Each structure stands twice: as C-alpha cells, then as structure tokens.
C-alpha cells in the first residue's frame, strides 16, 4: 500500500483517494518571468514520478500545474525589456515547455493561468469578504484577516504570536494586522490590471492557487505539492483562504520537495547562484539530468555539482551498456523476475526513488550474467525497460545514448579507424593497433571489443 509523507501531519500516511481510483493532484508551477532553473526541474521531476507511479498503480490522475503569469517580477521584467507582460510570458512559457519536454516530464492535464481565471479569483475573494475573513483597506487593497482564522499556522507549524514577533517585513499602515496578506492589489500607474468590485487591480500571489485548484479539482482534493520553500507563507495562506471560503476539507495530502543546493546553499534567483535548465542541458544529455534529479529522495536536499552529474551519467552508462546487446522483449509480464514487487515496495514507501533505482541495478547485474541471445535475457531486459519507463528513464536506444549525436563525417572517420584497427589486430600488428586506438581515444572514443565484434562509446 502506498504511503505518502504528509507535511500537515508530519508523518507517512497510507494513501486513500477521496474518490475510488481517482486522484486530484495540484502542483504549484512557476512564475514565468525567466527561464526555469535546476531547482524548478527538481520539483517537477519529483512530481512527474509521483504522477507516473500513481498511474502505474492504476489511479486515474488529474494533474493540474498552474502558471503564474502576472506578478510584480513579470511586470518589472517586461518593463525592462520594453514589452508587454503578455509578450514576456508567452515567450517564457514556450521555453518552459521546451525544457520540460526535454526532461521527459509528462504534461499536466490542465495548466491554468492566473490571467485566465480572474472571475474565479474574484469569486473566492467575494466569499471571503462576505464571510468576514477579508476586508478592503484604505489604499484599495483587499486583505485576508489572518487572526479571523483559528487554523492559521497548522500547515507550517507556526504559532501566531511567534510569527508576529519574528516578522521582518515592514508593515504597511493600512493592514489591520501585520500578518494580513493581500488578496487583491489595487492598480498602480502603468501596471496591467483587471476590473473588480474593489476597483482595478490584480490578484495577490496566494489567492490564484486557491481559485484555480478549486475550479479544476473541486473544494476537496487529494494531493497538493510544491517546493518546500512554499510551505510558508504560500501554502499556509492558501489553506487559510480555501478553508475559510469553503466549508469542506481542503487538501488531504501536502507534499513538499527538497531544495537543490549549490555550494551548500539553496539555488535561487534571489541568491543569483542558479543554473538554468537550458544551460545545463547544453552540456549534458537530458536523461543524465533526469537521472541526477532522481538520485536522492524527493524530500531531501539535492546537491548540484559537476561530479554528481557525472556520476549520474556513469550510472546510466551501466544501464545502457547492459541493454545494448540484448533485444528486449517489451511484451514480457511486468512482474517477470520478481523485480516489480521490490520496486513497488520501494516506491510505496513515500516514493523512495533511490531504492527503486537500486532494484534496476539488481536487474542489470542479473542481465549481464545471461547469454544475451537467450529468451531469459530478452525477458529480463524487457523487465528493466518496464521499470525504467515508470521512472521515465531507459527509453532511448542504447547506441544513441552511449555514442551521442555525431556528424556523418565523424562517424565515418571513427568507422574507418575501427576497420583499420581490426585489420591490424588480424595481422597481429599490435603497435599499429594500439596507435589507432590512441587516435580514437583522442576523438573521445572508447573501444569495446569482444568475440562478437567491436563497438564503441563516447568518453
């Protein structure tokens, strides 16, 4: 049985969907003012695996991942670029989709945007005002009255009095209470805005998610996820809004992913220590990055470094080397060899990807011992492909992965040298054979020679 760690209860809990066999999954997406970075990639890769595994278990999952396409930074960046916010976000959304596709992330079923959900957002705010949980300030903003909600702080385990004493943000005078947060922000000169009962303006950050997941998943849904940096205040505020606007339970399971670290520090835009996914994809193949991103448990921090990515590459080379000489029987039963049970045991334990991956290595070990022409080897390779697919890996052709993309010229050059070396070895001209191997090595080619023939991979 699947167990998931719930931020709300701080423990692993058996997962039972609200509606039998169906799962509503909402993940906070990115604010699209720039290219996404490795931290984003980590979070969405984690939920991609959650999604794939839930589907593997037979759940019908509705995956909703929003796009924040209006906020201060978007407005600011668009002004700097001398373009409209819409032009900016259209471009960054296209880039995001390209990056995520490269990482083999499945598409969300719904990808709602703030700018197309104004009526829904306004409706939620109206409900909050009607029920006495929100008020309009003297400056025109609409604010959520935090002390009106007794449950405030239950997700992030914050105590209201401690929050007040520790508050660092300067309080604007028109807030009744420094903890109150903005639901609707009155328009300022030159900003994009929408009409509302409270005048022209735009939504505060948190309300959009409450409105969008209400629309697409209903008042009460199964899983809500995001980076652990969103727990407070974003998700705490969302809980407050949704629970006050609607009198039903809100989210059953809250899942949060660990941060990507670089030099022992969180990777983030504000620290200016980030690597865009785009720039990393230019240097490494996408599957290596995907594998790197799943190399630690999703709730742990993940340290970004060249060495760790190289290790991911080396691990994948072991998989693909093993698969290279076997024609995998992809029609083999999922449960062939008993690996699936171990794999599921790992994944059922709060999606323990490192242990699940270790099961794949068990398969490799067995596969490498078999005669690659045997049915047993083909079936074992099929089992490896099956489990890999659940994780979204090992879907490429081994030769393609191991040799990379090469120009025709280079391929011809390599093949010619290999032919020369084969001749030299036939002639037992070892000096010449070794010299040719050195030449190939200089081209970044590592030879692999066996009784059945010669092949190679890139260094």
Each residue 135-174 as x (binds RNA by CB under 7 A) or -, in order, gives: ---------------------xxxx--xx-xxxxx-----
Sheet holding 265-266, edge to edge: 265-266, 260-262, 302-303
Alpha helices in 157-200 (DSSP H): 160-166
Position 427 contacts RNA (CB under 7 A): no
Q: Is 343 helix (H, G, I), strand (E, B) or coil?
A: helix
Binding residues for RNA, rule CB under 7 A, total 83
Judged by CB under 7 A, does residue 241 bind RNA?
Answer: no
Cα separations (Å) of 348 from 56, 60, 332, 356? 12, 17, 23, 10
Q: Which two tokens stand for residue 131?
A: 């029920």
| Residue 8 makes contact with RNA by CB under 7 A | no
The answer to whether the CB of 66 falls within 8 A of the CB of 112 is yes
Exactly one of 233, 337, 388, 398 binds RNA (CB under 7 A); that residue is 233
Q: Which residues contact 391 (CB under 8 A, 6 or more apart)?
A: 49, 52, 294, 353, 356, 357, 360
Cα–Cα distance for residue pair 31/66, rounded to 1 Å: 9
The reply on whether position 1 binds RNA by CB under 7 A is no
Q: How far apart, in whole angstroms, are the C-alpha atoms of residue 44 and residue 28?
A: 9
User: Residue 130 CB, nearest distance to RNA (Å)?
Assistant: 25
Rule CB under 7 A: is residue 10 a binding residue for RNA?
A: yes
Residue 330: both structure tokens together: 């992809």
The yes or no reply on residue 103 touching RNA (CB under 7 A) is no
Give me the least distance between CB of 156 and RNA, in Å please: 6
Q: What backbone phi and psi angles, to 5 degrees, belong to 109? A: -70, -35
Could you say which residues in the range 19-38 bind RNA, by CB under 7 A?
A: 28-31
Closer by beta carbon to RNA, 21 or else 441? 441
The reply to whether 318 sits near RNA by the rule CB under 7 A is yes
Using rule CB under 7 A, residue 302 touches RNA? yes
Distance in Å, CB of 374 to RNA, minimum: 14
- Quick note: the x/- pattern for RNA over 182-221, rule CB under 7 A, is -----------------------x----------------
Interactions with RNA, residue window 363-392 (CB under 7 A): 364-365, 368-369
Q: Give the integer Cα–Cα distance in Å for 54 and 58.
A: 7
- The interface with RNA within residues 52-91 (CB under 7 A) comprises 68, 71, 73
Other C-beta atoms lying within 10 Å of the C-beta of residue 256: 22
Q: How far is the CB of 230 from RNA (least distance, A)?
A: 4
Rule CB under 7 A: choose which of 9, 139, 147, 308 binds RNA.
Answer: 308
- End-to-end Cα spacing for the chain: 42
Q: Give yes or no for residue 422 binding RNA (CB under 7 A).
A: no
Among 322, 329, 348, 380, binds RNA (CB under 7 A): 322
* Interacting positions 436-455 with RNA (CB under 7 A): 437, 446-450
How far apart are alpha carbons 354 and 360 in whole angstroms? 10
Q: Which is nearer to RNA, 269 or 283 (CB)?
A: 269
CB closer to RNA, 314 vs 416: 314
Contact with RNA (CB under 7 A): which of 3, 123, 193, 228? 228
Q: Minimum Å distance from CB 46 to RNA?
A: 9
Is 200 exposed, middle or buried (CB count within 10 Å of its CB: 0-12, 13-18, 19+)? middle
Can you read off the two tokens belonging to residue 16?
């039972």
Please give the radius of gyration of the chain, using alpha carbons only, rounded to the nearest integer: 26
Alpha carbons within 13 angstroms on the beta-carbon side of residue 459 total 9
Give the span between the Cα atoms of 265 and 243, in whole angstroms: 34
Token pair belonging to 231 = 């727990």
Q: Which of 26, 40, 89, 252 binds RNA (CB under 7 A)?
A: 40
Tell me: does residue 232 bind RNA (CB under 7 A): yes
Binding residues for ATP: 269
Binding residues: 28, 209, 234, 238, 269
Binding residues for Zn(2+): 28, 209, 234, 238
């Amino acid at each position: 049985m699947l167990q998931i760690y719930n931020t709300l209860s701080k423990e692993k809990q058996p997962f039972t969907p609200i509606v039998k066999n169906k799962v509503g999954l909402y993940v906070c997406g990115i604010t699209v003012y720039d290219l996404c970075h490795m931290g984003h990639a980590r979070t969405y890769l984690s939920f991609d695996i959650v999604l794939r595994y839930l589907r593997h278990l037979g759940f019908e999952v509705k995956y909703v991942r929003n796009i924040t396409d209006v906020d201060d930074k978007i407005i600011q960046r668009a002004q700097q670029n001398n373009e409209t916010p819409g032009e900016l976000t259209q471009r960054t959304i296209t880039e995001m989709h390209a990056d995520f596709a490269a990482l083999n992330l499945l598409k969300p079923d719904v990808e709602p945007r703030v700018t197309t959900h104004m009526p829904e957002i306004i409706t939620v705010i109206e409900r909050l005002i009607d029920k006495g949980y929100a008020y309009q300030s003297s400056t025109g903003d609409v604010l959520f009255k935090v002390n009106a909600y007794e449950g405030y702080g239950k997700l992030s385990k914050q105590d209201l009095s401690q929050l007040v004493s520790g508050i660092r943000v300067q309080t604007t005078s028109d807030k009744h209470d420094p903890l109150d947060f903005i639901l609707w922000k009155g328009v300022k000169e030159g900003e994009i805005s929408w009409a509302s009962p409270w005048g022209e303006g735009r939504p505060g950050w948190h309300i959009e998610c409450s409105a969008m997941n209400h629309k697409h998943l209903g008042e009460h849904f199964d899983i809500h996820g995001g980076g652990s940096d969103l727990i407070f205040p974003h998700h705490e505020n969302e809980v407050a809004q949704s629970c006050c606007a609607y009198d039903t339970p809100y989210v059953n399971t809250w899942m949060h992913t660990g941060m990507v670290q670089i030099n022992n520090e969180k990777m983030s835009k504000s620290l200016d220590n980030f690597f865009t996914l785009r720039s990393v994809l230019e240097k490494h193949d996408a599957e290596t990055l995907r594998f790197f991103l799943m190399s630690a448990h999703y709730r742990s921090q993940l340290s970004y470094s060249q060495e760790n990515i190289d290790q991911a590459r080396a691990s994948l080379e072991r998989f693909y080397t093993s698969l290279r000489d076997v024609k995998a029987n992809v029609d083999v039963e999922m449960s062939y060899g008993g690996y699936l049970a171990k794999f599921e045991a790992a994944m059922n334990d709060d999606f323990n990807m490192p242990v699940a991956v270790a099961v794949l290595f068990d398969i490799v070990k067995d596969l490498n011992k078999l005669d690659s022409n045997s049915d047993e080897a083909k079936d074992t390779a099929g089992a490896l492909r099956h489990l890999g697919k659940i994780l979204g890996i090992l879907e490429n052709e081994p030769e393609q992965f191991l040799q990379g993309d090469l120009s025709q010229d280079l391929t011809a050059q390599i093949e010619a040298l290999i032919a020369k070396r084969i001749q030299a070895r036939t002639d037992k001209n070892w000096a010449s054979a070794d010299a040719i191997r050195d030449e190939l090595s200089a081209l970044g080619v590592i030879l692999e020679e066996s009784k059945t023939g010669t092949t190679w991979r890139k260094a």
